Structure 1
């Protein structure tokens, strides 16, 4: 583990973190709402973990219990790439899930997000479903979702899971 990775701390969000949570969600998602699998989710109202480096907020993971056995990761955002922030956040939610007896962590990303696909699969997530043209429905809920990113049309939701 590198020095940079050891410098990342992850803790559950507390009321004093509200401003940091709002700032990260605004920067990454244009606000607290995320449109996914035909639903508009207020990420700021979900359970969350906040990553810090030297006391500064550098990442956020929001999640919700779908059932006693599975949790959905709603958002994962690292404001500083390459410091182990995303991995630390996943390690944190995984540890909490295992303590709670959760057997499945899952999330949805979109087809153009190749960096996220690589990251999650390297962590151990498996691609289990492709929801073709699902982003069209998401855009009806949140019209600010871009049409393209990195020259790739954003059309499909990809579901990944990690069995615990």
Structure 2
């Protein structure tokens, strides 16, 4: 597996993969629109195949992970991508790295907690506002769980 910083040459493939996975290249967190076409990130490649993507941005000494997708589960793809962004956040003197997931994504909750992230906040019924900005967000998610809330996880770096 090789991790490569997203550049213009990779952008089209990244956008296509994110659109297929997320319903569009737009991701909403806390009522904010993130266009993944414009975000920093990394891809994981294996034999010319895209097996993972992470996008993020850094502002005010904080790093927000916007998306993390592993297309080869249980092989360390997500962990490798996340660790690379954690290193970028440290190099940029970020005080924390954080992300938002939805209440239905129990596998993400397990994944982040196993990697040292902690619950930071829960935003009750936040997905209602997100659906106004991105109608493609389904009513039900993993295992038929209604998607209603945003849950923030953080890893304090300093």
Q: TM-score, normalised by structure 2?
A: 0.94
Q: Does 1:33 align with 2:26?
A: yes
Helix, strand or coil: the match of 2:2? strand
Residues 24, 59 of structure 1: 8 Å contact kept: no
Q: Does 1:17 align with 2:10?
A: yes
Residues 24, 77 of structure 1: 8 Å contact kept: no
| CA-CA distance at 1:55 after TM superposition | 3.0
**2:85 aligned partner:** 93
Point out where structure 1 has 5 or more consecutive residues left out of the alignment.
1-7
Aligned-residue RMSD, C-alpha = 1.0
Instruction: Provide the C-alpha distance between the structure 1 equivalents of 2:72 and 2:62, rounded to a whole number of angstroms.
Output: 28
Per mean C-alpha deviation after superposition, the further-off stretch among 9-18 and 153-162 is: 9-18
**1:113 aligned partner:** 105
Alignment of 1:14-163 (within 5 A): 14-67=7-60, 69-149=61-141, 150-163=143-156
Helix, strand or coil: the match of 1:144? coil
**1:3 aligned partner:** none
Point out where structure 2 has 5 or more consecutive residues left out of the alignment.
none
Aligned residues: 156
Segments ≥4 residues shifted beyond 4 Å: none
